[in-house]
Amino acid sequence: MIRVELIKLAGRPRTWVAIGLLCLLPAVVAVFLATTRISPPPGQGAAFLSAVLQSGSLYPAAALALVLPIFLPVAVAVVAGDAVAGESSQGTLRYLLVRPVRRTALLGAKLVAIVVFVVVAVLSVAGTSYVVGVSLFGAGDPVAVVRALPEVTGGDDAVAGAGSAGGEQPASAGGQVGGSDASQSGARPGTDTGDSTAVADDQAARDRAQSSVSSLSGEALGPADLAARLLGAMGYVVVSMLGVAAIALFLSTVTASSLGATLGALAALITSQVLVSLDAASSVTPYLPTRYWLAWVDFFRDPIFLRDISSGLWLQAGYVVVLMLAAWANFTTKDVTS
């Protein structure tokens, strides 16, 4: 059944158009950057975009940052929202079920096909953007991007106490920091591993912290190290999309309209994005599906900062389990009247 679902997915022109568009956006951005050589000021624009001018081999990371907020979730929501509702409105669902395909098996096969789609999409984006990046910007020396990234800080009050906090911070990050961070105003790499109350690492703080970006003077990353970090980031992005996929797939079993399921999932994501940036909603922020989406950036910190990453993985796993159970319960008990 999984094989059949994959054939169906691959046989749809829409699948390839979506992946093509996903690859196109970073390429267009790269062309503009390469021809003008005007890099966005550090801290503005998508993460990494200012770094790629030095090293094209970082461009896959920049590309992920470009497609992650909107393009990729939209593509996933379209595919997942169509999964069951599309078969249902087309009438093919009833013929599948009387073949017979068990409803649980069908749902499972749909989920696997969606995951494969996400993996292929992310791989394609990374692959094409690597080629584009290296050919336009040169391979360069990928530096430890830790310097180029917005720091995870506690925001203004935490920055005010930078001097003392810097002294207390664990040596892990300090080793590679050297003198470089001293030259910058309030940048304190890795402080967030310390005091958890002072270091409120919510999204707003992350945004505010974008103004405090250090120089690009980290250590060079070896190709193997860079590849490993990229793979980690790509894997994390794939997992981040599973929550979207689960929401859309669940809605797809509820309604017979693909469009309804897709838009429903996107509405959920937009709500989540809005609430994540709203301080007043901080009580629910840790449970919102988009809360840890940007944590893949942490794969490029030195050392790799794992707390948000693992929170993100757990959160997505929770969404997938709960929503797939709901989808299963709904789908296996509902009357197929289409």
Partner 1 sequence: MSTRQTQRIDARPPSSGLVIETRGVTKRFGSHVAVDDVDLHVAEGARYGFLGPNGSGKTTMVRMLLGLVYATRGEITVLGATVPHRVADVLPEIGAMVEGPAAYPHLSGRTNLALLDASGPRRGRDGQRRRGRVEEVLERVGLAAVDRRPVRTYSLGMRQRLGLAGALLNRPRLLVLDEPTNGLDPHGIREVRDLLIELNAAGTTVFLSSHLLAEIEALCTTVGVVDRGRLVLEDALDAVRGPTGRLVVRTPDPDGAARLLGRAVAERHDHTLVVDAAPGGPSALARHLVEHGVPLDGLAEQRRSLEDVVVALTGPGSDTARDRRDRA
Which residues would be at the binding site for partner 1 (CB under 8 A)?
A: 1, 3-4, 7-8, 11-13, 90-92, 94-102, 333, 335-337
CA distance 144 to 3: 41
CA distance 37 to 137: 10
Specify the residue, 310 or 338, whose C-beta has the smaller distance to partner 1.
338
Specify the residue, 16 or 211, whose C-beta has the smaller distance to partner 1.
16
Shortest Å, Cβ 329 to partner 1: 14
CA distance 40 to 176: 26
Buried b (16+ CB within 10 A) or exposed e, 269-282: beebbebbeeeeee
Shortest Å, Cβ 88 to partner 1: 10
Interacting residues of 84 by C-beta distance below 8 A, sequence separation 6+: 93, 106, 107, 110, 249, 252, 253, 331
Q: What is the DSSP letter of 296?
A: G
Specify the residue, 99 or 325, whose C-beta has the smaller distance to partner 1.
99
Specify the residue, 102 or 156, whose C-beta has the smaller distance to partner 1.
102
Shortest Å, Cβ 28 to partner 1: 28
Specify the residue, 10 or 274, whose C-beta has the smaller distance to partner 1.
10
Shortest Å, Cβ 162 to partner 1: 59
CA distance 106 to 129: 34
Residue written as token pair 């568009």: 21
Shortest Å, Cβ 251 to partner 1: 21
